[in-house]
A and B are shown apart, each in its own frame.
Chain A
Amino acid sequence: MRARLAPIASTSPRLLAGLTLLAVVGLAALAGALLAGDPFRTSEALLTGPSGHHPFGTDNLGRDVLDRVLHGTGTSLEVSVLAVTTGTVIAAPLGLVSGYAGGLLDDLLLKLAEVLQIIPGFLLALVAAAVFGASLLLLVVILAVIFFAPTFRLARGEAIGLRGREFVQASRAAGAGHGRILRRHILPSALTILLVNASFQAGTAVLIETGLSFLGVGERDTVSLGAMLFDAQSYLEQAWWMSLFPGAFVALTVMGMNLSGDGLHQLRDVRASGRAGPRRPARGRGPAMPRLGVAPTPAGPAKAPGGDA
């Protein structure tokens, strides 16, 4: 294990930094669940600054900001992991099969993905959350829907790119069935890029979750970092700590996810170029441009995965 970790750290310090951040944030959430005090307990000490007794200070109701930050971090992680897992488990296999098989179903699914992608996801989530009264389950479902289109299109593009590669052709010629090719060749080759995509989406999920609760449409009886920042908005003049600490934990969580995704991506590029000699841009990779027939051009659209919210 150590022998494998060392080269990862030297080729991709970002991955190491990201995973370290995630470990810290994860431990904080764990501490919130196991050790921290009741995040709803009020006290007489209103709006007191950071001290030995309350390291992150107290809020306008005298609640301990540290306790609330730890619980809120747990909420964010929970929502984000559930949403991204659900979205990926549904969209990735569909995309791989759809891209590999092609045909009418592929056309239909692609159309569906295109439509989903134009609807401003965050705004729709805002309306749905406000209308139904937000619950964590609803949030997970909405996020999974938002993430469906980008993940589907990524997986589909990968499958199309891999379909024509020599090792797939060879396997086909050797008599392997489609199911076996998908499981043994297409899925493993697409796995890294899907993981990269998932970690960026996890970051986006945290931003959307906290963003919605910041706008006051989050679930009120769970602690959310976004709702804490909403409370902080009215006390910016007296109590900066109400804003600084919850926001910092959102930022650290998202940074951990984005750094991991970026590092993983770097690692994949290094591996690919390590085999193929000097680095050449991979043509035809990444999400294909819709509706545009493009003659061979130098640059495919290099869009940050998980970039839209």
Chain B
Amino acid sequence: MLSYAARRLAGTLGLLVAIVVVTFVLVDLAPGDVAQVLAGQAGDPHYLADLRAQLGLDRSLGHQIGAYLLQVGRGDLGFSTVRGEPVLDVLAGRLPATLLLGGTSLAIAVAGGVLLGVIAAARRGSRLDAVISVGSLLAYSLPVFWLGQLLVALLAVRLHLLPSGGMTSATEQLGSLAVVLDVLRHLILPAATLAVLLMALVVRTTRAAMLDVLDEDYVMAARGRGIREGPVLFRHALRNAIRPVITVATSELGFLLSMLVLVEAVFSWPGLGTLLLDSVLSRDTPTLVGLLLFSSFVVAGANLLGDLLYMRIDPRVRLR
């Protein structure tokens, strides 16, 4: 199992190098560079040349990539000239907000989604099943940023129930408990928006997986032994059906990340998503590459974690 994990990690490293190369090439192909952004449109040519030399932009692309990879190897993601901070610090500053938002919505989505999916599968073909499965299909079709806007227009603008954006009110000095409550109030709308989309995905996966399992002989056998329906569903069937759900929860992390960018944009949530958007618009390449590296690393890590989790749950799974 350890050697398996090591091989997977090696594969991930190769992928990360590929991402660095692709991003550098993309940015290099684009007209203009960060020095121009920093110096302004009508920047003094001498200043511009100095700035390029200082940033290493006057060297060849291969040189730049090599230097960057060595740096990353030392655990340094570089320096964001636009922000005047090391990239690692920039990321670390934004990570908690994204973890809070993503974690909360994922937890709600998995808990609610698995429950609804099991109910729909248990009542297959009933009206309740139709409502749940069509409902989740329709929810899955909603543009997440529009759902966010509707919630803001209704609950924040019209009814004044919740704040429309940001993570804190940042007005006067608040006690620590008041700060927590304040953040929670700001969290409700973005987390609910994100959770609706994720839950739709979990419901559909759970239902499909449960339907496959419910036809199996051991489920019939459990029913035949007189075990009540609740334990049959949750203890016997769900335990076998949970694998695909884990796959989706971990492999769809890329999906979660892109949703995060959109939701954070709607609610001006100060996380990695708004950071990504800002650095795209300001040509902040070091931050951009750092972000892409970080998210690919997280996605690959989650996939690995998902596979390892399988083995804990299902001893029949063997790794090659």
Q: B246: nearest residue on chain A (CB-CB)?
A: A301
One of A41-49, A84-92, A152-160, A239-247 at the interface: A239-247
The residues of B that contact A291 with a CB separation of less than 8 Å are 8, 307, 319-320
The residues of A that contact B318 with a CB separation of less than 8 Å are 292-295
Q: Provide the bound-state CA to CA distance between A130 and B285, in Å.
A: 12
Assuming the contacts A211-B258, A251-B143, asked whether A131 and B150 have C-beta atoms less than 8 A apart, the reply is no
Chain B interface size band reads 35 or more
Does any Cβ of A come within 8 Å of B220's Cβ? no
Does any Cβ of A come within 8 Å of B292's Cβ? yes
The residues of A that contact B215 with a CB separation of less than 8 Å are 279-281
Cβ A281 vs Cβ B212 within 8 A: yes
Secondary structure of the A contact surface, majority rule: helix
Assuming the contacts A120-B295, A255-B138, asked whether A128 and B26 have C-beta atoms less than 8 A apart, the reply is yes
Cβ A120 vs Cβ B292 within 8 A: yes
Cβ A236 vs Cβ B141 within 8 A: no
The residues of A that contact B69 with a CB separation of less than 8 Å are none
A115, A128, A236, A302: the one contacting B212 at CB < 8 Å is: A302
Does any Cβ of B come within 8 Å of A207's Cβ? yes
Cβ B30 vs Cβ A250 within 8 A: no
The residues of A that contact B205 with a CB separation of less than 8 Å are 302-304
Interface residues in A, total, Cβ within 8 A = 62
Assuming the contacts A236-B157, A291-B320, A295-B317, asked whether A127 and B300 have C-beta atoms less than 8 A apart, the reply is no
Cβ A247 vs Cβ B201 within 8 A: no
Assuming the contacts A127-B280, A127-B288, asked whether A255 and B141 have C-beta atoms less than 8 A apart, the reply is yes
Does any Cβ of B come within 8 Å of A126's Cβ? yes
Does any Cβ of A come within 8 Å of B49's Cβ? no
Assuming the contacts A211-B145, A240-B153, A302-B205, asked whether A258 and B140 have C-beta atoms less than 8 A apart, the reply is yes
Cβ A233 vs Cβ B266 within 8 A: yes
The residues of B that contact A298 with a CB separation of less than 8 Å are 212-213, 216, 240-241
Q: B206: nearest residue on chain A (CB-CB)?
A: A302
Cβ B252 vs Cβ A308 within 8 A: yes
One of B15-23, B77-85, B224-232 at the interface: B15-23
Q: How far is the CB of A295 from chain B (nearest CB, A)?
A: 4
Chain B, range 273-299, C-beta contacts under 8 Å to A? 276-277, 280-281, 288, 291-292, 295-296, 299
Cβ A247 vs Cβ B277 within 8 A: no
B15, B153, B317: the one contacting A243 at CB < 8 Å is: B153
Assuming the contacts A247-B150, A295-B317, asked whether A303 and B248 have C-beta atoms less than 8 A apart, the reply is yes
Q: Provide the bound-state CA to CA distance between A51 and B57, in Å.
A: 56
Mask for A279-300, Cβ within 8 A of B = 1, else 0?
A: 1110000000101111101111
A-B contact pairs, 19 of them (CB 8 A): A14-B137, A115-B15, A118-B254, A120-B296, A127-B23, A130-B281, A203-B141, A214-B145, A214-B265, A215-B265, A217-B280, A237-B157, A258-B137, A279-B215, A291-B319, A292-B320, A298-B213, A300-B244, A304-B204
Closest 3 CB pairs of A and B: A247-B146, A122-B258, A302-B208
